[in-house]
Amino acid sequence: MKIHISDEAAAWYEDEMFLSKGDYVRFFARYGGCSTVQQGFSLGISKEEPVNAGAETAKNGITYFIEEKDIWYFDNHDLYVEFNAKAKEPDYKYL
C-alpha cells in the first residue's frame, strides 16, 4: 500500500499541526465513526514518530506513515489525501 498526499493537503497539515521539517504524521485505525473501507472504524491522525512503519511517504520534509499494525484498516487500498477547498480540510480516498 502507498500513501499519496497532495501539495494542498500537506500545506494544511503543516499549518494546522504546526509541523516542521523532520516531523512525523501517523494515520491510524480508530474505533468508531464511519469509513468506506472498514465499518465501525475511522481514520485517526496524530503527530508522533514511527515504531514499525508499514507504509510511508515524505512531503516538504515531513514523513507521513501508517504503522504495520494498522495496515489492515486500508483493506489493500492506497490512501489518497487530497484537499477539499470548499470544506477547507483534507479529504481521504481509498483506491
Right CATH number for 3-94 from 3.10.200.10, 2.60.300.12, 2.60.15.10, 3.40.50.300? 2.60.300.12
> Coil, helix or strand for 95?
coil
Q: What is the pLDDT of residue 73?
A: 84
Can you list the alpha helix ranges (DSSP code H) found in 6-76?
7-16
User: Which backbone phi and psi does 29 adopt, to 5 degrees?
Assistant: -80, 130
**Looking at residue 29, what is its pLDDT?**
81
* Average pLDDT across the chain, whole number: 90
- The answer to whether residue 32 scores a pLDDT higher than 60 is no
Looking at residue 4, its pLDDT comes to 97
User: What does the pLDDT read at residue 37?
Assistant: 65
Spatial contact of 93 and 80, defined as CB atoms under 8 Å apart: yes
